[in-house]
Structure 1
Amino acid sequence: MTIAVHHRLDGEPGDAVPTVLVHGVGSDLDRWSFVASALARHGQVVRYDLRGHGNSPKPAGPYEIDDFVADHIALMDKLGIERANVIGMSLGGLIAQAVTLRHPERVRRAGFICAVAGRTPEQRQAVLARLRTVEEGGPMLVADSGTRWYTDRFRADHPEVVEAHMKRFLSNDPAAYAAAFRVLATTDLLDELHAIAVPTLIMTGALDVGSPPEMSRAMHERIPHSRLIIVDDVKHAILEEAPHTVADALAAFLYHP
């Protein structure tokens, strides 16, 4: 069943097609603050809290990838947006893939940042083990003090950023987080990606464990009109460790192709 997600608008409607930003599992729309502000100089930006996250409703699970897609399209309909760019991070990248595949007429350009596709058997085994941990004990058991998401240098230089993220992450509703994480852990759209016909930007950190460069390269190989950017010395928290790089790449891709 579709839900009305909490959302925020940045920038003003204009000639540019709106851009919708989709955050990752365990996060919320504030994760996009820097990028949203940068992109809003060019046109309207929409960001929202996924079901089960932030200020959006937290219905009982299980969740399916198509639930997230339906919520996304319902928000576009509510805002009167016929066609938009869709940019997703992590789980949001998976949702962006699904939106682009299921509703190609609603997407002008797509961006998959630190997204997943084509896990190896070993990677599937590892993420399913994390899923079992989450379902048994909640998000706190996979927090790892941020070491999985942030480089050691960034953690040392910006402890306040890491602390704020960890506080937000640990405040997630355990059941809703587990329901969303199951979608991330068990959904793989690699074999469908060849059908994406819109221009697509694929980006990840060179040190990302959950969304390693080989996944992004596999996506790039399958999507005809795609660009690939691997950001050096960055893990999964690319929106905090390299916000200018992400914002500049997206602005160039979306507004100055």
Structure 2
Amino acid sequence: MTVRGRSLRVAVRGGIPGRSPLLLCNGMGAGLELLQPFVDALDPRREVVRFDMPGIGGSPAPVVPYHLWTLAPLLSGLLDQLGYQQADVLGMSWGGGLAQQFAVRCPSRVRRLVLVATSPGALMVPGHPRALLRMLTPRRHRGHGYAPGIAGELYGGSVRDNHLLGRGLLHATTRPLTTRGYYYQLLATAGWTSLPVLPLVRQPTLILAGDDDPIIPTVNARILHRLIPRSELTIYHGGHLDLVTQAGHLARLVEAFLGAETPSANGTGA
């Protein structure tokens, strides 16, 4: 699809008509296939929309750089073209920043918000230095001999005990990405932070964070929870990619939240 002048590869899983779809915003360098286990674990009646960022997966490489500040209209235009007035939005890792920005800039388009393994951006508590250095290159998405050796150190959780799982996630289920697409996506977060505007997030929000995430320490989830008025926080035992590796467990939490009539205000789970 061409949305606001950008070509995007989009996937839609059909569901019950008239119900808000779930719009998924993926992490750094990952194509929409990465979240397939999570999509499969959701209620099959729930409509799900996924897309690849420019230069990632099946979306053509962007001509010029972009920034998170400017991407909310892109998501709004995507919903317009698909015929949706409103959606539930789930953002994982880098996609969590995009989801936060969209919720603030276009509040009427977001019914409920789910933030997974993410942070408030530049003003976050940083992860492990080695993990952050690994994120500066797309190599983990390419070299089959490289990903297994660094997967546990980078993603934590169940991937620590099964390094080949990291390789399978990063290669078998995703399409090649362009170097330009990866670095444009990385640069899109330069100087971006949601910290000053988090009190303006009025949507009911579920925050999910792993207790073994080398990239995003759990303290960042607690900061999000403290500043987002109608939020609830669940710390799960796992790492950065557990939305995929432990999809069944986290999908149940997400389904319960999206289907709840009145989400708890400032509740904390474990």
User: In the comparison of the two structures, how many residue pairs are matched?
Assistant: 250
Secondary structure, aligned partner of 2:61:
coil
Q: In the alignment, does 2:89 pair up with 1:86?
A: yes
Identity %: 27
CA distance in 1, matches of 2:117, 2:154: 11
Aligned counterpart, 1:201: 206
Secondary structure, aligned partner of 1:251:
helix
Secondary structure, aligned partner of 1:9:
strand
Letter in 2 for 1:139: P
Aligned counterpart, 1:45: 48
Quick one: structure 1 residues 126 and 150, their matched pair in 2 at CA, closer, same or farther if it must change by over 3 Å?
A: closer
In the TM superposition, 1:47-66 aligns within 5 A as 47-66=50-69
Deviations 1:131-164 (A, max 9, x none): 9x83xxx4227966213443375354472x3222
Q: What stretches of structure 2 of length at least 5 have no aligned partner?
A: 142-146, 262-270
Aligned counterpart, 2:259: 255
Of residues 119, 144, 152, the one that matches 1:147 is 152
Q: What stretches of structure 1 of length at least 5 have no aligned partner?
A: none
Q: Normalised by the size of structure 1, how large is the TM-score? A: 0.86
In the TM superposition, 1:75-224 aligns within 5 A as 75-117=78-120, 123=126, 130=133, 134=136, 138-140=137-139, 145-151=150-156, 154-157=159-162, 159=164, 161-167=165-171, 171-184=176-189, 186-224=191-229
| 1:210, distance to aligned residue in structure 2 (A) | 1.8
- 2:201–2:229 contact (8 Å) kept in structure 1: yes
- 2:72–2:102 contact (8 Å) kept in structure 1: yes
Q: In the alignment, does 2:75 pair up with 1:72?
A: yes
Secondary structure, aligned partner of 1:123:
coil
Quick one: structure 1 residues 251 and 149, their matched pair in 2 at CA, closer, same or farther if it must change by over 3 Å?
A: farther
Aligned counterpart, 1:227: 232
Q: Normalised by the size of structure 2, how large is the TM-score? A: 0.82
Secondary structure, aligned partner of 1:147:
helix
Q: Which has the higher helix share?
A: 1
Letter in 2 for 1:116: S
- 2:123–2:193 contact (8 Å) kept in structure 1: no
In the TM superposition, 1:17-56 aligns within 5 A as 17-56=20-59
Letter in 2 for 1:209: P
Aligned counterpart, 2:246: 242
Structure 1 runs, 4 residues or longer, greater than 3 Å off: 118-122, 124-127, 141-144, 148-158, 168-171
| 1:106, distance to aligned residue in structure 2 (A) | 0.4
Q: CA RMSD in A?
A: 2.8
Query: Is 87-96 or 140-149 further displaced after alignment?
Result: 140-149
- 1:209–1:236 contact (8 Å) kept in structure 2: yes
Aligned counterpart, 2:266: none
| 1:24, distance to aligned residue in structure 2 (A) | 0.5
Letter in 2 for 1:173: T
Secondary structure, aligned partner of 1:229:
strand
